[in-house]
Structure 1
């Protein structure tokens, strides 16, 4: 009677076909209603926004599209999709019947015995009934991992866009700095020539000439480091495009204006990041996969039933005649875990801990994304103010230099006044170029931080 009372509820549970383990629930975390320096309005889907086109630089646009299909990091992430798709098939196959067939033939004979030939064929089938959803949870986990693999491609694409655009901005900065230093060199050589002329007229000393020469030589000494910076930036761009270093240096040698963003970026609200950032979506998919793995491990705590059967047919050829034979078997087998040293329950605890870790990883990814947007936006606003102020500084110092030269020609000031004015002009021009570079990099960082352009050229998610 006790056995009957135990078996009846168990049989009802098996026949119900339940799925053990927690059902996935989308995670949630408290986020502010708006970014500190933005309006409270949601932005459109920015994942297809080609934000780099706002620089209005055709060469940059060409490089971006050239590398979208050639960047090695993106290609590696694409290859991982193939493995994730195969894992979905593997996970689904576990819950399907398994069928195998075989055949063999033998011949037997000798001097004192009759010859005999035997042909036999057989088929074996088995099906593990997924009453507790072990394979359904496994397939759920595999599908979530596949989604994460697709999102990882977009993560790699964003990293490529960020690296390429920043490297291009650097390359153009070094070219601008080289042009400015060559312009400064020309100006300082002009000052040296003027100083020599005034010395010949008896109104300047050898010390004045040496000071002017020192400034010329200092400018010459600054040029190699800037050339190195340009070459290294060009080499890195080539690597990002999947071609050998030095391949595109020639095409970049012709200088171009420093990239400057022409449009403002709508950052939206923090909640938009959950939709637009591929790293957040990938983290959520991994959380879903880890949640499904809890069910996989919990299913191992319960009994399993496997249906198996076989059929074998044989035909024996002998001198007297032919003999046929057929054997078959079919039946269920029950496996019930009883003593396992607590291993199965421990595996469930491990799975739950891993799911909690994935939740914390997701939450950390969300908070880091909000921080990245806040930082990039603050930097973009303030570096824009710096650029505007430095433009005025350059104008003032250029006017000061012109006045100092006229005063020096008239004997109203010394060569030191001219040299100081030249130093100020050179320093202000380079500071402006550096600030423009930083402004452009801020623009890149802000658009990458909101997930801009992440899905351009993205593969279509396979239907399941």
Structure 2
């Protein structure tokens, strides 16, 4: 008997430290030492880097900071943190004792002619009340609730990182939409400038026709180019309004709310600083989507332990105390209590429990593959954006020279046409070239800005700016 009394508490102590399932190991994947077009030097922590300020656009800066607090997608991600925090409490509550209380009262009576004949009483009534307290505690010998809480905490961390993912998506969308809006304004301004130039050419052609040196065909061709320029304006105006409306939606206000404030044109955003891309390994630390994928892998790994714990016996300690009182004169009160363990042992379940373990392991493997895919996609995004950004700069520089050359050509063509040394076709061709080159330059500047945005988002820049939850992580 003494041996049993000693062995049982010892066995309970040993089992209490037993947690089934694999312990989480940080995933690894082979990455290059550097990106193909940058140096092998770490960029450090870029989560608080306000990279959009490189555009030196006060209006853009104001919109970004306004939307960080108002964007509905970011707010949804923040709200999911609240749900994840509640899930941690739920997961931890399973391993704690549960206590409940109950009470009820009854009043009963009987009457009727039959009772009067048999009992001699006109009325019979009884009153009773019962109350009780019960408690139960499922002993977590194999770590079911500890693994559940581990999974819930990992999911909570993923929810925090999902806020960073939403914030990066917001920054990318807002800044790109602002770049688009300013592009359409620039394109409109250029087309109006081209329209003015072509009307000047039309006036010149009419003057030369009146002098007898030009034909009606020359006038019609010039008018056609004027009308074509007028036809291009509505589409550009539509593009501006759509970009402005989307910015309003991103700020959490109705469409067209901020259109009037953007109507006053501004120069196209051009980045003034280069972006430090760092090394591929930096992405695992700086990209919130990679961190979130790793946290989900950790949660899935913990769920393996939850599934495996179902294969083992479970012991629940339970007890209750009850009091019953009948208010009849003959009856008194009665109290009762009970306490003891109950054992649940899985014996035959058709292989369902083992299948659940297999499913949990498969889910963890899927999460690992998802993490690895996220890492490789991040590396690709940085490589693509960096390659594009470098070549965008070369394109912009070349197109600036093209515009200068065509503007000089147009000036010479007009002088030559006035002097009768060339035809109106030479002037019209020169005008088309100038207009096309100017618009190509504006489009190249827009693409340069968009790729600058893409590169900074790809390295995780600014993911935690404006976050009120960073300190609580």
TM-score normalised per structure 1: 0.95
**Partner of residue 210, structure 1:** 220
Question: 5+ unaligned residues in a row in structure 1: which ranges?
Answer: none
**Partner of residue 138, structure 1:** 148
Encode CA deviations 1:140-179: one digit per residue, 9 max, x unaligned: 0011111111111111111111011111101100100000
1:461–1:94 Cα change, 3 Å: farther
Mapped partners of 2:471, 2:65: distance in 1: 24
Which segment is superposed worse, 79-88 or 278-287? 79-88
User: What SS does structure 2 have at the residue aligned with 1:331?
Assistant: strand
**Partner of residue 116, structure 2:** none
**1:221 and 2:266 matched:** no
Partners of 1:14 and 1:132 within 8 A in 2: no
Partners of 2:15 and 2:142 within 8 A in 1: no
Partners of 1:54 and 1:263 within 8 A in 2: yes
**Partner of residue 104, structure 1:** 104
Q: By how many angstroms is 1:106 displaced?
A: 2.9
Computed over aligned residues only, the root mean square deviation of the Cα atoms, in angstroms, reads 2.0
Q: Which runs of 4+ in 1 moved over 6 A?
A: none
1:89–1:338 Cα change, 3 Å: same
**Partner of residue 324, structure 2:** 314
Q: By how many angstroms is 1:459 displaced?
A: 3.7
Q: Following superposition of structure 1 onto structure 2, how do residues 336-415 of structure 1 map, counting pairs within 5 Å? A: 336-415=345-424
**Partner of residue 71, structure 1:** 71
Mapped partners of 2:379, 2:216: distance in 1: 61
**Matched positions, count:** 458
**Partner of residue 424, structure 1:** 433
Q: Following superposition of structure 1 onto structure 2, how do residues 247-266 of structure 1 map, counting pairs within 5 Å? A: 247-266=257-276
**1:191 and 2:201 matched:** yes
Mapped partners of 1:341, 1:315: distance in 2: 48
Q: Following superposition of structure 1 onto structure 2, how do residues 270-285 of structure 1 map, counting pairs within 5 Å? A: 270-285=280-295
Q: By how many angstroms is 1:107 displaced?
A: 3.7
Mapped partners of 2:329, 2:348: distance in 1: 57
**Partner of residue 122, structure 1:** 132
Mapped partners of 1:270, 1:204: distance in 2: 65
Which segment is superposed worse, 452-461 or 44-53? 452-461
1:251–1:463 Cα change, 3 Å: closer
Mapped partners of 1:463, 1:67: distance in 2: 22
Q: By how many angstroms is 1:31 displaced?
A: 0.4
Which segment is superposed worse, 109-118 or 194-203? 109-118
User: What SS does structure 2 have at the residue aligned with 1:332?
Assistant: strand
Partners of 2:130 and 2:323 within 8 A in 1: yes
TM-score normalised per structure 2: 0.93
Mapped partners of 1:317, 1:183: distance in 2: 101
**Partner of residue 44, structure 2:** 44
Partners of 2:65 and 2:466 within 8 A in 1: no
Partners of 1:116 and 1:319 within 8 A in 2: no
Mapped partners of 1:259, 1:237: distance in 2: 16
**Partner of residue 241, structure 1:** 251
Encode CA deviations 1:342-384: one digit per residue, 9 max, x unaligned: 1101100000000000000000000000000000000000010
1:385–1:462 Cα change, 3 Å: closer
Q: Following superposition of structure 1 onto structure 2, how do residues 157-176 of structure 1 map, counting pairs within 5 Å? A: 157-176=167-186
1:348–1:13 Cα change, 3 Å: farther
Mapped partners of 2:42, 2:429: distance in 1: 51
Partners of 1:154 and 1:454 within 8 A in 2: yes
